[in-house]
Amino acid sequence: MAINWDKFHDELDELVEQAGERTDSQLAGKVSSISRLTDDEIKRLFPEPADVKRLAELMEIVKRAGDRNNKINKIVSNIEEFGGVVVTLLAKFA
């Protein structure tokens, strides 16, 4: 199933705005729909809406079609933004 990333980001931005200071069920559900994480795992691992948005951005880079090296370069060039998400994910799966 191809993901319409523009639509996904528009919906995600709206949910982040609505979530305020906490990650709500809709926001977690949106991201869990394109990952192997459950809603509860997302809420527990990423309690801040901004972190959920960063997770979605990182997932987009990884899941979009394209060359592996280009994906790595995009992640490296944005590592300050994605660093916390990467550490959280590695702690979960390591």
Q: Which residue has the higher pLDDT, 17 or 60?
A: 60
Question: What amino acid occupies position 34?
Answer: I
Cβ neighbours of residue 78 under 8 Å, at least 6 residues apart? 57
Give the model confidence (pLDDT) of 43-52 as tens digits: 999 988 889 9
Q: Where are the domains of the chain?
A: 5-93
Binned at pLDDT 50, 70 and 90, residue 26 comes out as: confident
DSSP readout, the chain? ----HHHHHHHHHHHHHHHTTS--HHHHHHHHTTSSS-HHHHHHH--SHHHHHHHHHHHHHHHSSS-HHHHHHHHHHTHHHHHHHHHHHHHHH-
pLDDT of res. 88: 96
